Amino acid sequence: MVNGARICYYKRIKFIYCGVNMKNVCIFVFSGTGMTQYVVDKIAQQFEMLDVKVDQYPIEKTQIQQVPFNTYDLLGIAYPVHAFNAPKIVINFAKQLPADVPSNVFLISTAGENNPVNYSSSKLLIKTLREKNYHVFYDKQLYMPSNFAVQYDESTTAAYLATATAKAPQIAQEITLEAFDRREGNVLSKCMHLIGRAEWFGCIFIGKLFYADHNCNHCGLCAKSCPNQNIISGAQLHFKWHCGLCMRCLYICPQHAIQVHQPFAFIKLGEWYKNEELAVSRNTKV
């Protein structure tokens, strides 16, 4: 504890001392429906206020070879919790990171429920990064409205957004100081983290149950914004076998035309959140 406090103290001095030299931070973000992006934007605003320069890279659009890793002091990865894990697209991205630029990494995740069962969600991601010589010093989970199966009412939604926003200044400061903060999941969360990986296979089949109803006007927005290029738009929408179950197509469709066949119809929320700050198109940078 004393040592921890001392390290923190030195880091604080280093930070004040380095204040004249701007820190450069890069954040790789995956956000299915904009909740994670919402949180990252709030934290990024706070970084700027601390004189930290932030570059954000959407994971699904980033060519790793084009990222100037050597110009960054810190790397971040932000993701939504999917079945007690980081989504597969995030793990695959981490596997491609170069192994010759060891760096300190911070993780930001959003989950639809403040429940300790989610606490091990970063385990596989941290292992993948460790194999690449990256050191994860920070792993913060925030709670945002759920985009899957269970919809919160507007007052709960507003409360979640307010809490996440209020935490952003402290998170930005802790990351800038490179303060160590990693949570340890309990046995149940570790088991769920393992079992949850079945979702990677399950979502391929659930994705085949997606279809467009008569309201589809073939605008092609769903196909354009799918992070897995799983949708072919034409006279009829065709869903391929690469769905990541991120839910983006369901909620970004202006006609609300994309549905899910039974027995999985329940995963789509009856109505997307009315809260304007959660507009999927605004927060997913499509």
- What residues line the site for ligand FMN (CB under 6 A)? 31-36, 80-84, 110-113, 118, 144, 146-148, 245-247
Q: How far is the CB of 151 from ligand FMN (least distance, A)?
A: 10
* Between 120 and 128, CB nearer to ligand FMN: 120
- Rounded-to-integer distance, Cα 107 and Cα 268, Å: 27
Q: How far is the CB of 247 from ligand FMN (least distance, A)?
A: 5
Residue 118 CB partners (closer than 8 Å, separation 6+): 81, 84, 111, 141, 189
What single-letter amino acid sits at 203? C
Q: How far is the CB of 109 from ligand FMN (least distance, A)?
A: 8
- Rounded-to-integer distance, Cα 181 and Cα 28, Å: 19
Question: Which tokens is 69 given?
Answer: 């890793």
**Cα end-to-end span (Å), the chain:** 45
* Between 146 and 228, CB nearer to ligand FMN: 146
- Rounded-to-integer distance, Cα 269 and Cα 249, Å: 13
* Between 97 and 249, CB nearer to ligand FMN: 249
Q: How far is the CB of 268 from ligand FMN (least distance, A)?
A: 10
Output phi, psi for 101, to 5 deg: -125, 65
Residue 183 three-state SS: coil
Query: Is residue 133 within 8 Å of residue 69, measured between CB atoms?
Result: no
* Between 126 and 144, CB nearer to ligand FMN: 144
Q: How far is the CB of 73 from ligand FMN (least distance, A)?
A: 25
* Between 21 and 155, CB nearer to ligand FMN: 155
Pairing of strands 52-58, 23-29: parallel
Q: How far is the CB of 269 from ligand FMN (least distance, A)?
A: 10
The conformational region for residue 149 under phi > 0 = left, psi -120 to 50 = alpha, else beta, is left
* Between 28 and 84, CB nearer to ligand FMN: 84
